[in-house]
Every structure is written in C-alpha cells, then in structure tokens.
Amino acid sequence: MTSLPTRAIGPFTVSAIGLGCMNLSHAYLPRPDAAQAEALLRHALDAGVTFFDTAALYGFGANEELLGRTLMDRRQDFTLASKCVLAEIDGRRGLDGSPQAIARVLEDSLRRLRVDHIDLYYLHRLDRNVPIEESVGALVRAKEAGKIGAIGLSEMSAATLRRAHAVHPVAAMQTEYSPWVRNPEVAVLDACADLGVAFVAFSPLGRGLLAGNSHAAALMPGDLRAGMPRFQEPNLAANLILVEKLRTLADQAGCTPAQLCLGWLLAKGPHVVPIPGTTSIAHLDEDLAALSRDWPDDLIAAVDALFPFTAPSGPRYPRDAQAQVDTETWEGEPLA
C-alpha cells in the first residue's frame, strides 16, 4: 500500500512515480557512498514509492546487491524490477539475448537481490543476433518456473513489441522519455496503449539537465553523460537555452522544472510511469511532490511547444549506444 497516487504495470499496482536506481551505482558521477545510497532507498520506500528499478548491468551487479541488502526486509511493500541481456561479460559491458545467457544472468540477479522471484523482468536491449521470440521464450520459461512475475522490454520499437507480445503478453516497455526525448511518440507509446502495456519512462528529467542539475563543467571524467553529444559543445550551450526557457515556464506555473517534466509525462497517458533517479533525498521529495498537483492542459501544451522533436541540439546517444537501441527515430533526427 502507498499514500501516493498509483498506476498499473501488468498485474501490479505501483506508485505513479517509481525510482530508477541506476545512478546509485552506475554511469553518473559522483556516486553516493553506501550509507547515503541505503538511506535514499529507505526514504523512498517510507515516502510511498512502491516501484524500484534496477538491472544486472548497473555497477556490474553492485546495484542489485545494494537493493538486496537494503530493501528485502520489506519485500512485500514494493514491486521489484530488474533486467537482463545487457550485463558483465568477461569483465566488460556485453549484450547477449540468448536463452542460455538470460537464464544465467537471472540466476545471478536473484542471488544478488537475495530473492527467489523478481516481479518484473526486462530484456534490457534487443540483441539483433537472436530473434526476439527466442529471448521472450526464455522469460516465459522463467515465469513458468516462478522466478519472475511479468515480462518487460526496454528501448524497443512498436514492431518489436508486437512480435514479443504475440509470444506472451508484455507488461511494460521501458524507454527514455522526457520533453527533450520524444521518440516514444513516434509509435511505441501508442502501441503500448493499444496493447495494454505500461510505459515506464526512464531519464524523465533529461539525465538531470532539464532539472538544472547537470552542466558540462560539473561532469566528472568517467561520467556517462560526458560522452553524450547533447552534453558536449556546441550542443550543450544551445540545450542550456532550452533549460532556461523551461525554468521560466516552471516559475510561472509555481513548480520546479523537474516537477514540470514529471507532470508533463504523467499527463501523456494513464499508462505512463516515470522513474526518475537521484542520489538526493531532497530531490526525491521534490519529484514526488509532482503527484500532489494538477497539470492543466495549457501548461502541458506549453511544454510541447517549447520542445518539438527538433528542439534539442545533438544526437541522443553516441554511435555505439545508438546501435544498441531499437527505438524509432523521428524523420530527420540527427544520429551519431
């Protein structure tokens, strides 16, 4: 139970805003120490968050271990999601969607999480060397064995979703979605609505930039964002102009830019569940406060107008990362 508004993901009722746990252990710098990360997770649960999202990839298992030692004494209080296919292979990030690899990664995740069942288990990316039907089939067998409860996909297209859904109902599609990444609106957001699939929006605050929390000067060497074109000059300077315009709009609406981004997403459909990530308890509380107010149509339309598909400067991903996503691109989108 939660005091927050709720939404449905497959058979689960979850807080309408969940918590993306990646940056507690992976990708972004600086990272919190163990005590800070554990305190953030416990605070989220106490504040009513009932949807926690991790993956085998994050910290090469460290994020799952963090959740395992911190939250599992309250396992009945939340819905747990993790992911396979992207994981550590021979000490490096690797992609393997074969049934054998999926089964192996799942067993490792169960051990690290200290559970015998993961509620929602995603294929983190599409392995183009393995038919999606085979990868989904591995998850079906895991579900039949009682090791997972529902099946999800991440960063995949409407066409791939429909192929997967024909094998077994898909509970959730997780893809980056925010005012400056509107690719889901090309096709997959509507496909989810048509099929009754929840849409889980990761990086809903533009990887921190739209919330005013990330500037190039503050990015440490090794931070994933430093290699992303939108965080590099001259793109960054142009994108920061958009950020300031968003801040002005939020000030006029009496909210923060982060809250406005989350309100915009919540207004995109009852099947949309944003999962912002943060290392700050204050920022977490700020995010959750977006659930306590109404978001009028004219304000949502103003965000739409500020961020047409062509507004952001630079590709979303560098070349290697773009090659691993199956999401639709919009006509004319710059690709690395």
Question: Which tokens sit at 79?
Answer: 């819905």
* Residue pair 16/266 in contact by the 8 Å Cβ criterion: yes
Asked whether 163 and 130 are in contact (CB, 8 A), the reply is no
DSSP 276: -
Q: Can you read off the two tokens belonging to residue 312?
A: 């952001």
How is residue 163 written in tokens?
């192929």
What is the structure's pLDDT at 216?
A: 62
119-177 pLDDT tens trace: 999 999 999 999 999 999 999 999 999 999 999 999 999 999 999 999 999 999 999 99
pLDDT, one tens digit per residue, over 19-36 is 999 999 999 999 999 999
Phi, psi of 97 (to 5 degrees): -100, 15
Domains of the chain: 6-322 (3.20.20.100)
The whole-number pLDDT of residue 217 equals: 61
Q: What is the pLDDT of residue 214?
A: 66
Residue 95: pLDDT over 90: yes
pLDDT for the residue numbered 193:
98
Band (pLDDT 50/70/90 cuts) for residue 41 is very high
Q: How does pLDDT run across 42-72, given as a tens digit for each residue? A: 999 999 999 999 999 999 999 999 999 999 9
Whether the bond between 234 and the residue before it is cis, its omega within 30 degrees of 0, is yes
Q: Give the global pTM.
A: 0.97
Give the residue from 63, 174, 44 showing the smallest Cα distance to 109. 63
Residue 198 phi, psi (nearest 5): -70, 150
Q: Is 35 helix (H, G, I), strand (E, B) or coil?
A: helix
* Secondary structure (DSSP) of 148-194: EEEEEEES--HHHHHHHHHHS---EEEEE-BTTB-GGGGTHHHHHHH
pLDDT at residue 59, rounded to an integer: 95
Quote the mean pLDDT of the chain. Answer: 96
Closest CA to 275 of 90, 36, 86, 9: 9
Residues noted as catalytic: 58
Residue 1: pLDDT over 90 = no
Q: What CA–CA distance (Å, rounded) separates 243 from 255?
A: 14
Q: 89: pLDDT confidence band, cut at 50, 70 and 90?
A: confident
